[in-house]
A and B are shown apart, each in its own frame.
Chain A
């Protein structure tokens, strides 16, 4: 069965650079979530989309933005990267709002 695909799996960037993370949700899932997980931390909610429209926002820095495109893939754009942005970034999708979420394998971002 198709799963949530994230790319790239690993990314190394320098401070002040920009990063773009991509997410391809499971087909026919109408909801996409983005999460940030620091080492030994719980996943922190960043933002969600329902049918390509932003539906909820969490503790997402102003330097970050996200969107969902007509083909349902989503991108998380991160600018002016800081060392503290180093983390695992997960995308997840759900077949319906407020049901189980299927997570991708994550993108490990390292800012040096």
Chain B
């Protein structure tokens, strides 16, 4: 990966359970974003958290950011089978860069 690691690489849960995915990155950032990808399809933006924010919510999603540890977590509450997908974090490096650097992704399987 150009960025760092995501943890876990794969996660299998039952509907209704919560899913937590973690992401680590290497450089100082402007912001961090989470994306979802269904198999072989385009990536869909879920949420953006800026470097001066610590937590953000959007519907069933909760994202935290710890810039001192260079890490972020994505929590999906009350998961549904339709949440089955790969989830990637992506960072925008600070310093005027115009790019998103993706982590390795977590494959989430939610079983009915």
Hey, which bits of chain A sit against chain B, CB under 8 A? 4, 31, 33, 35, 41-45, 48, 50, 55-56, 58-59, 88, 90, 92, 97-106, 108
A56 and B97 contact, Cβ closer than 8 Å, known pairs A42-B2, A90-B42, A105-B41? yes
Say yes or no for B60: interface residue by CB 8 A criterion. no
- Give the nearest-CB partner of B3 in chain A: A42
Total CB contacts across the A-B interface at under 8 A: 64
State which of B42, B88, B99 has its C-beta within 8 Å of the C-beta of A48.
B99
Q: How far is the CB of A94 from chain B (nearest CB, A)?
A: 9
Are A42 and B1 neighbours in the complex by a CB distance under 8 Å?
Answer: yes
CB within 8 Å of A: which residues of B?
Answer: 1-3, 30-31, 33, 35, 40-45, 48, 88, 92, 97-105
Check B105 against A102 for contact (C-beta < 8 Å): no
In Å, the complex CA distance between A52 and B15 comes to: 45
